[in-house]
Structure 1
């Protein structure tokens, strides 16, 4: 081992001997100068002057293997997806599933049977006015306990039969709950029978659009903007949209506002490519935020982009100045080309023979004349 510069004390004390005394300091110097000196390794780690060097046992090193970049990125994406899916705090057990319903004919038959049972019970109890004309089997004792029980059963059957009838419509769905517990979603159409004890919540599952008021945003330069967007969306999971959040439409508006604050919007007058990039970024961001609550976002399109009132006047002057500078640059370029072409033609055809000074004067006069003509006739 070689050392260039080191600070080692001149006297190295010896460790305690076997008799408990302390040996005198060893006056030998390990490093005599600041130049390179070879130092035996066993002298630096010696514990006993006479003891043999102890055997050193090496422990196997534990090396933490870092995953490959592709695997690490894939794991990071998977974790991000799991976190994003559980970000809104929606119960993972709330997932749309079909509810158990019966065809409408079953409810109609049950209602008719219940009505017929009520009529038969009334005839049995002799309550009907024409009971005597129906035959000697009609009762005359009034409503007793048996008649009341039969009347209650038939009435309950009729109420359940007719009360559970419902009409399913295209583009509409029902979210059913029983005592606060989700029992399924009905997307079928036609006449159906649904348990009357279930609470029904109607949900519109058609493709819908929402055009909001101008919302605050900013461009890539941080200039304040006001953007009115058109959101095309629909409810994909009725259970999450109804039970996962209090108001899925309000949640969608909040997602749009948050996306406009995070995505730089193309400034007024930007090209079609910048506008399309803004639309794609907004659509991806809003769809990722609204997806866990059962809302599918198809597109988020900026309809009107304008500067905020506090910067509108300044940006208008800046835009006019840029247009004017562009116009002046075009005019100057065309004038210079015209002057160059005129002087070149006159010289090449031998019409004039000019020295440098005369050429400069001619160029100046032609430039003034062409600029004056452009100013009068316009670009």
Structure 2
């Protein structure tokens, strides 16, 4: 999606990349609402009158696999599939040190530029003379995930949603050619804690919708606004879960337990993976798919996989069907085990995200193609 916007802003590197039939403009604001799945938004669009007006023309697109924030941010920020950018899950193995890396927190993680060496869309836009600004919470500035997936933007720190809208409006007004990225994470947080079917989720979407309506009124008339998300969500009652702390047979041969409750990545002892697939499939039945890494790679789940990335993917990957999840109360943090709303797997509710286009009120231009400086 971001390469499409860059194309319409006249960034030569992405010439022809637009797949959404966007207008050519000189200024754009891209809003990513964490956890705002397309199907959830459509089902509960009564909470979002501003977005509902644009839903008939919205695009329903898959966010990629696994359906988790770190992976989707890598795809969003680079325009590459996970097998290329290398952010292949929430918690994955760093083969060089044989240790799990949480790609969200990046605590004690690797050099993010080594981990994800490809250039970002923001870097390309800046090199082409577009002023790029990222608006988000202060702790995102310089974080591992930001550096890996979204480097290249000037950072504007703002805490509340209203403050972020104000910061985005100021940034887009400040430059004749501008790309502003605004992130909001509360819809995802509320969905995790209370569930995506809760009244709390609806209230948060109402707040987002009001803020987006205000954004559309305050930006210059020639500004394109695009609203999207990184994944959707499903609610999984606790009685629909399997706890690996009480399933020793399923942990036999597992060196590291990565991924998350809707998409586990198992890093196994040498030679243990094939037998583990059989044991797991017999135990979970039709509630999950249990696949070897080679099968996932051959079938293109991550797109083409670069050699440096392959070892980060679990030897065995378990993707959950329907309303089902697998936790480990002895290894996973208690707050993860308690979550009601989850994502990571391949259901439509998790995969489908919206690309909602709010066109400029006027002033659409034939943007000249500007090459990279240097």
Q: TM-score, normalised on structure 1?
A: 0.17
Per residue, is there more strand in 1 or in 2? 2
Per residue, is there more helix in 1 or in 2? 1
Q: TM-score, normalised on structure 2?
A: 0.17
Kindly name which structure, 1 or 2, has the bigger radius of gyration based on alpha carbons.
1
